[in-house]
Amino acid sequence: MAGQLKEVRNRIKSVQSTQQITKAMKMVSAAKLRRAQDAITQMRPYAQKLQEMLSNIVSNTEGDMSIKLAEERTVEKVLLIVITSDRGLCGGYNANLIKLAKLTIAEKYADQHKKGNVTIWNIGKKGYESLLKAGYKADATFKDIFLNLNFENVQAAAQAAMKAFENKEFDAVEIVYSEFKNAATQRFTAEQFLPIPKVANTGSSKKKSDFIFEPAKEELIAELMPKILNTQLYKAVLDCNASEHGARMTAMDKASENANELLKTLKISYNRARQAAITTELTEIVSGAAALQG
C-alpha cells in the first residue's frame, strides 16, 4: 500500500512539472503570436493588392508581349515550396501541412512524381525531415529561414525559384502553407506561385483594364514582377509564422487543461489509497487489541 501511495505521489509531481512547462510555453507563444500577428496583419492588404495588380497586368497584356514568369507550358517538372515550422509541440499543425503537400502531389502531379520530377524546397525543419524520410526529393537549402526570419532571406528563396522557372528547370511552382486566421484557426492551402496566375475573364471582366504604363511597359513589368513575387512568398512565410505560434499556444492551453483533469483524477486515487491504508492500519490495531484482551 505504501508503494502505491508513493507511485501516485510521484505521478502527481510529474504532471505538475509538465503543467508548469506547458503554461510557460503557452505564455511564450502568446507573446510571439502578438508580434507575428501584427506583422502579417500589416503585410496582408499590401500583398493582396500587389497580387491582384500583378494578375490583372498579366491578363491584360496577354498577346501584347512575352512575360517569362507568366509563360504557361506543359508541366513536366514541378517545384513545391512547403513551409512548416522548425519545432514541434504545436498540435497537428505540421502534420496537416505535410499531409496537404503529399495530397497535392498525389492529386495533381502523380505522373511527374513517378518520373522523379517533383522537387520540394522546404522552409522549416519539420517538413524537411518528414518528407525526406517519406522518400520525396526534399531540398534543405532554405530550411533554416525561420532561424533568422527577414525579407532578405525569403527574397533569396523567391529569386531562386524565379530563376529556376525562367531557366525551365521547373514548369510549375506551388507554395504549400498555412494562412493565419486567428490563434485557433489556420487554413492550409496550396497556392500557385509560377507561372503567375491570370484573372479569369468572365462576365464583366472581359473588357481589358486601361493601364497607363510609365516608363515603358516591358521595363516596368520586368522591374515590378520579381518584387511582387518576393512579397507574395514573404507573406506566406509570415502567415506560417503566425499560424505556428497560434497552434502552439492553443496546443499548450489544451495540454494544461488536460493536466488539470489528470491531477484531479490522481488526487482522488491518492486520497482513496490513503484512506484504504488508514482503514487497514485501524483494522490491524483493533484486531491486535482484541487478540490481547482475549
* The pLDDT of residue 233: 96
Question: Is residue 175 a part of any domain in this protein?
Answer: yes
Is 263 a member of any domain?
Answer: no
The Cα-based distances of 120 to 27, 82, 173 in angstroms read 34, 7, 10
Position 105 in a domain: yes
Would you state the pLDDT for residue 142? 96
Is 291 part of any domain?
no
Residue 33: the pLDDT is 94
Angle of CA points 149, 29, 184, to nearest 5° = 105
Which of the two residues, 223 and 14, has the higher pLDDT score? 14
CB 252, CB 23: distance < 8 Å: yes
Which residues neighbour 44 within 8 Å (Cβ) at sequence distance 6 or greater? 235, 239
Confirm whether 275 is domain-assigned. no
CATH of the domain at 61: 3.40.1380.10
Give the residue numbers spanning the domain of 218: 21-252
What's the pLDDT at 199? Answer: 67
Distance CA 256, CA 141 (A): 37
Question: What tens digit of pLDDT does each residue of 118-150 get?
Answer: 999 999 999 999 999 999 999 999 999 999 999
Note the pLDDT tens digit of each residue in 177-209.
Answer: 999 999 889 999 999 999 988 765 545 444 555
Q: Which residues pair with 172 in a beta bridge?
A: 78
Give the three-class secondary structure for 93: helix
**CB within 8 A of 68, min separation 6: which ones?**
165, 166
How far is residue 131's CA from residue 277's CA, in Å, rounded to a whole number? 54
Percentage with pLDDT > 90 across the chain: 67
Classify strands 172-182 and 137-139 as parallel, antiparallel or unpaired.
unpaired
Confirm whether 240 is a catalytic residue: no
Residue 288 resides in a domain: no
pLDDT of residue 292: 80
**233 in Cβ contact with 154 (< 8 Å):** yes
Q: Give residue 109's pLDDT band: very low, low, confident or very high (50, 70, 90).
A: very high
- pLDDT value at position 209? 57
| 289 belongs to a structural domain | no
Determine the Cα–Cα distance for residues 120 and 127; give it in Å rounded to an integer.
10
- Per-residue confidence (pLDDT) for residue 293, from 0 to 100: 79
Query: Over the chain, what is the mean pLDDT?
Result: 89
Rounded to two decimals, the pTM is 0.86
User: CA torsion sign, 178 to 179 to 182 to 184?
Assistant: negative
CA 119 to each of CA 169, 229, 271: distance values in angstroms, whole numbers, following the listed order: 10, 20, 58
Q: Could you give the CA distance from residue 288 to residue 292 in angstroms, rounded to a whole number?
A: 6
Of 243, 56, 48, 237, the closest CA to residue 149 belongs to 237
> Would you state the cell numbers that stand for residue 114, as one nine-digit string?
513517378
Summarised one tens digit per residue, pLDDT across range 253-269 is: 999 999 999 999 999 98
> What's the mean pLDDT in 69-92?
93
Q: Which residues of 38-66 are buried (b: 16+ CB within 10 A; e: fewer)?
A: ebbeebeeebeebbeebbbbbbbbeeeee
Higher pLDDT, 203 or 29: 29
By C-alpha distance, which of 152, 155, 126 is closest to 140? 126
Catalytic residue among 90, 105, 242, 273: 90
Mean pLDDT of the 80-103 span: 96
Enter the C-alpha cell of residue 178: 498555412
DSSP state of 70: G
In a domain, 4, yes or no: no
**Which helix or strand (DSSP H or E) is residue 121 part of?**
strand 118-123
What integer pLDDT is reported at residue 204 of this predicted model? 47
pLDDT score recorded for residue 110: 95
- The C-alpha cell at 259 is 493536466
What's the structural domain count of the chain?
1
